Structure 1
Amino acid sequence: MALETSTAREIKVSRERVWQAWTDPKEVRAWLNLHDASVPVETGDPLRWHFNRGGRVDLVFTATLREVDPGFSCSYDWDVPGNDEPTSVEVEFVQVDEDSTEVKVRHSGFSDSVRSRVEFDAYDHHWWHYLERLAAYLEHRPFQFHKTLTPPKTGIIPLGVTPETGMVVQDVAINSAAEFVGIQPGDEIHAIDGVTLKEMEDFHRWLDDAVPGQKATFTLQDRTVELVLRPFTA
């Protein structure tokens, strides 16, 4: 059965203001903290979100605008590695009142391949973060990481998690704690300090309670390493 995830976020601004931030390339770059962005206007136009996360390979999301009802909804054919066909992303903007809008995102069509399920876990986690980033930008406040504004850093840039692979490392930040102990792209992290990783939330729940300077034991598919967490840097 194809997997799907959905999330929603109420933002304390008008629907028109949310739509503007969602569709203006300059604003999209700002609230998503992108290196570059292409935002589609008409059906058939391409979307491109280009992230630079401090690793050796940038992360680029690509999609095609499938349908649009300006100000109210849009949908995309969203490219996901591991899927023979694009997945589907549907976004709806619902005005709660004149100063509040609910943004709803539904992402469906993931296949049962291991790579697609790893990608699904990542999107299941990150769509919430993207909407929180949008809300923080529009409400003029700091972006909230789970429990804290300043979580410590491992330097690991994860792809996603499945119970059989653990957390698959997509990249490692240059000069980070993870790079220092030899963690590499493609590594599979099965546990941290004895906590088994079955989904991305397991990693972030562990990180919520971690502090800079803390030593952590990472159990990988073929070895165990110990790294020291570093302070948050923007």
Structure 2
Amino acid sequence: MLNTSTEREIKVGRGRVWAAWNDPKEVRAWLNLIDGEIPSRPGEALRWQFNRGGRIDLVFTATLREVVPQESCVYDWDVPGNDEPTRVVVTFVQVEEDRTKVQLTHSGFNESLRSRLEFDAYDHHWWHYLERLAAYLEHRPFQFHKTITPPKTGIIPLGVAPETGMVVADVAINSAAEFVGIGPGDEIRAIDGIELKEMEDFHRWLDDAEAGQTATFTLKDRTVELVLRPFTS
């Protein structure tokens, strides 16, 4: 079974962090959800619904299994490719009066290709979600990696596996990726000669890319030239 963990120290007190994690209005704000359900009692459903500009929405579903107010939440998290739900545990540790450490573990991914692709995406994106929470509570811009305004490809990845490269879940409408014919199900093996074996490979490349740059995308069955576009919020 595959497991991932991450943590983020946030410069506000634990009660404030707990409220932002569990209040439906606030969760929609810091995650930029288009819709969602936020559970408060064990047995209730969680649903996070995003749209990244593509033709399909990204929807996460789970069930809240355990909750200790201001200390922890445990979820049975649904992951395509897994027969059984995975397990997400979020703990809130007060480091100082105005400083809280949020620790998150996600375990139980199996060895199927779909589950491994999902694992790779979660392994990368949980850090981003906690950074979104921190930025919201600290009243500052959300930091992607090296920059607040990375160039855009329009690709919405499913995940990355060494044998497939980056599998495309969707592409943003009227994006650079759509313009050159990249679409759902495509397997991007390399960009500018850099092999994609995990999601971080894609984002490390994107960190150093610039809007207007032409990049060579090597797919399973073809090669395309894509011109990166400026960041838009």
Question: TM-score normalized by structure 1?
Answer: 0.99
1:92 matched to which residue of 2?
A: 91
2:200 matched to which residue of 1?
A: 201
In 2, Cα distance between equivalents of 1:24 and 1:36: 13
State the AA in 2 paired with 1:209.
D
Q: Give unpaired runs (5+ residues) of structure 2.
A: none
In 1, Cα distance between equivalents of 2:61 and 2:176: 30
Query: How many residues end up aligned between the 2 structures?
Result: 233
2:187 matched to which residue of 1?
A: 188
Q: Give unpaired runs (5+ residues) of structure 1.
A: none
State the AA in 1 paired with 2:24.
P
Task: Please list the CA deviations of residues 10-49 of structure 1 after superposition, one character each: whole Å capped at 9, or x if unmatched.
Answer: 0000000000000011100110111012100110000000
2:152 matched to which residue of 1?
A: 153
SS at the partner of 2:64?
A: strand
In 1, Cα distance between equivalents of 2:197 and 2:51: 26
1:81 matched to which residue of 2?
A: 80
2:59 matched to which residue of 1?
A: 60
In 1, Cα distance between equivalents of 2:64 and 2:14: 20
State the AA in 2 paired with 1:15.
R
Question: TM-score normalized by structure 2?
Answer: 1.00
SS at the partner of 1:20?
A: helix
In 2, Cα distance between equivalents of 1:196 and 1:139: 36
SS at the partner of 1:28?
A: helix
1:179 matched to which residue of 2?
A: 178
Task: Please list the CA deviations of residues 129-170 of structure 1 after superposition, one character each: whole Å capped at 9, or x if unmatched.
Answer: 000000000000000010000000000000110100100000
CA RMSD of aligned residues (A): 0.3
Identity of aligned residues (%): 80
Q: Are 2:110 and 1:111 aligned?
A: yes
State the AA in 1 paired with 2:25.
K
SS at the partner of 1:126?
A: helix
1:220 matched to which residue of 2?
A: 219
Runs of 4+ in 1 over 4 A off after TM superposition: none
In 1, Cα distance between equivalents of 2:61 and 2:69: 20
State the AA in 1 paired with 2:160.
V
In 1, Cα distance between equivalents of 2:83 and 2:44: 21
Return the offset for 1:87.
0.2
